[in-house]
Amino acid sequence: MLAYGLIGERLGHSFSPEVHRRFADYDYRLIELPPEAVAPFLRERAFAGVNVTIPYKRAVIPLCDALSDEAKRIGSVNTIVNEGGRLVGYNTDHYGFCRMAEAAGIPFAGRSVLILGSGGAGRTALAAARDLGAREALLVSRGGSGPDTIDYETAYRAHAGADILVNATPVGMYPHAGAAPIDLARFPACSGVLDMVFNPLRTALLLQAATRGIPYANGLCMLVSQGKRAAELFTGKTFDSAREAAAVRAITLARANLVLIGMPGCGKTTVGRLIAGRLGRPFVDLDEAVAAEAGRSCAEIIETDGEPAFRELEARTAGRVGATFGQVIAAGGGTVVRQDAMDALRQNGCVIWLERPLDLLATGGRPLSKGGAALAALLAAREPLYRRYADRRLPNDDSAARTAEAACHIFETEDWLCASL
C-alpha cells in the first residue's frame, strides 16, 4: 500500500517530496495520472494520504466521501486523507496562500485584487483574498464566464487600477519560464504581486515586479506552508512555524544561483571561484561558456562577427546556464545590455554587483574595455543597468577573499529573493 504522495498530470519538476521530508519521515511519491486514471486510483483507496495538484483539484471533489468545511466552501481539494477507508478532502492551499501573503508583507484589507486563473488554485486565492479583507476580488480567465469572473480584456480596460495581482495559472513555470500571463505595465497602481509558480524562483511576472520595485513573492512559501498543514493531517502531529521558515530558506538556497555582475576586470571570475569553493558549488564563467559553445574566444567572436552577434550568443548561453540550479555564475561585463540575458540569470539567481574603482579595473585582453576615457564612458553607460538588475551591491576594493566571504554572507543570510516567514 502506498503511504503518501502527490497526484497530478505532469510532476517532473515538483518540489513536494523535498517539502514533506522537512516535516516527517514517511514515504512520499510522485504519481502522474492521466485524467481517466484519477477515479480508479482514488476508488482503490490504496494509500494513506495524497496531495492533489493541477489539473485535478476540482475533479476529485465528487470522488471524496466527505469534505472539510473549507474545501466545501472553496470548491477545491488539494489534500485527501484515507480515514479508515473514507476519503476526506481538505484544502490546505488556503492556509498556504495566507502565509505567502503574510511573508511578502502584502496587505489585502480594503484593496482590489485580480486573480489570474479560474481553476482550483484561483478559487482558493479568491476565498483567501476575501477572508483577508479585500475590498474587491475577481477571477480573470480567457473565457471570462461565471460568477466573479472577467476576461483579460475587461481586466485591462476596466480594472487597470487593481492593487494586487495573483497568478494562479501555470504560465511562467519551467520549462516555459519566459512567459508571463499579463503585462504589469498595464496595471500602474499595482503594489503587490503573488505568483503561485515556484520554478523558476522568479518568473517573468515576478521579474517585472522586481524591476518596478513592487513587493512580490513566489509560490514556494505557499507550497511549504500548505505542505506543512498536509503533513499535520497525515500524521496527526503539529509542526511549528519555525520549521516552515527554515524549509523555505533551505529549499531556496539549494536551488538558487549566486550571480556576479559588474564591469570587465572588476574581479567577477576571481571572486566567483572563491565563492564556489566556499559553498561547494560548480562555477560557471559565462564568457568561457560562450567561447566553448562557439569554439572561439569572445574576443575573436566580437572582432570577427561584431558585438551584436556576440550578445545574441551570450543571451542564448545565459538562458541555458540560468535554468540550472545551485551554481555560482560570473556574467560578462556587458551581459546587462540584453534584458533577455539578464532575465535568464535572474530567474534563479541572487544577483550581486561587484563595484571596483576604475583605476583598479584590469583591462588586458578585453576588446570592449581599453582603459582611459573609453572605460569611463563604458561605466557611465552600464552603471544604470548594473543598478537595475542587482539584488545587492558589493564593493570589491579589498581582498578577493574578503569580498567572496561578504558575498556568501549576503547569499546565505539576507532575504534577497522573497520575504521570510
CATH of residue 387: 3.40.50.300
pLDDT confidence of residue 372? 72
Euclidean distance between CA atoms 354 and 215, whole angstroms: 24
Are 58 and 137 in the same domain?
A: no
CA–CA distances in Å: residue 48 to residues 28, 37, 172, 235, 278: 10, 18, 33, 10, 42
Beta-strand relationship, 47-52 and 2-8? parallel
DSSP letter for each residue of 176-235: STT--SS-GGG-TT--EEEES--SSSS-HHHHHHHHHT--EE-THHHHHHHHHHHHHHHH
Nearest to 321 by CA among 292, 279, 298, 280: 292
Beta-strand relationship, 164-167 and 112-116? parallel
CA–CA distances in Å: residue 55 to residues 15, 32, 124, 253: 17, 11, 14, 29
Are 395 and 268 in the same domain?
A: yes
Query: Which residues does 356 contact at the CB level (< 8 Å), separation at least 6?
Result: 262, 263, 265, 266, 267, 395, 396, 397
Residue 281 lies in a domain: yes
Are 170 and 237 in the same domain?
A: no
Residue 364 lies in a domain: yes
Are 282 and 337 in the same domain?
A: yes
Residue 249 lies in a domain: no
Which strands, in side-by-side order, build the sheet including 328-330?
283-285, 328-330, 257-261, 349-355, 392-395
Are 354 and 315 in the same domain?
A: yes
Euclidean distance between CA atoms 378 and 29, whole angstroms: 53
Are 34 and 133 in the same domain?
A: no
Residue 170's domain spans which residues?
106-214
Are 233 and 263 in the same domain?
A: no
Residue 419 lies in a domain: no
pLDDT confidence of residue 369? 55
Are 196 and 61 in the same domain?
A: no
Residue 367 lies in a domain: yes
Are 87 and 136 in the same domain?
A: no
Number of domains in the chain: 3
Instruction: Work out whether the CA dihedral 32, 36, 37, 43 comes out positive or negative.
Output: positive
CATH number of the structural domain spanning residue 59: 3.40.50.10860
Euclidean distance between CA atoms 298 and 312, whole angstroms: 12
Are 269 and 366 in the same domain?
A: yes
Residue 83 lies in a domain: yes
Are 269 and 208 in the same domain?
A: no
Residue 421 lies in a domain: no
DSSP 153: H
Please give the single-letter amino acid code of residue 255.
Answer: R
Q: Are 322 and 344 in contact (CB under 8 A)?
A: yes
* Residue 99 grid cell: 502565509
Residue 295 lies in a domain: yes
Please give the radius of gyration of the chain, using alpha carbons only, rounded to the nearest integer: 24
Local structure of 48: helix, strand or coil: strand
Nearest to 23 by CA among 215, 204, 243, 280: 243
For the question of residue 370 being annotated catalytic, the response is no
Catalytic residue among 57, 72, 228, 370: 57
CA–CA distances in Å: residue 54 to residues 5, 117, 263, 325: 14, 12, 44, 24
DSSP letter for each residue of 259-293: EEE-STTSSHHHHHHHHHHHHT--EEEHHHHHHHH
Q: What is the pLDDT along the chain (421 residues), one digit of tens a residue?
A: 689 999 999 998 889 999 999 999 999 999 999 999 999 999 999 999 999 998 999 999 999 999 999 999 999 999 999 999 999 999 999 999 999 999 999 999 999 999 999 998 999 999 999 999 999 999 999 988 778 999 999 999 999 999 999 999 999 998 888 899 999 999 999 999 999 999 999 999 999 999 899 999 999 999 999 999 999 999 999 999 899 999 999 999 999 999 999 999 999 999 999 999 999 999 999 999 999 999 999 999 999 999 999 999 999 999 999 999 999 999 999 999 999 999 999 999 999 999 999 888 877 655 555 657 889 999 999 999 999 999 999 999 889 999 999 999 999 999 887 544 4
CATH number of the structural domain spanning residue 125: 3.40.50.720
Query: Which residues does 4 contact at the CB level (< 8 Å), separation at least 6?
Result: 20, 26, 27, 28, 29, 47, 48, 49, 50, 51, 234
CA 7, distance to chain mean position in Å, is 22
pLDDT confidence of residue 365? 56
pLDDT confidence of residue 248? 94
Are 368 and 267 in the same domain?
A: yes
pLDDT confidence of residue 145? 77
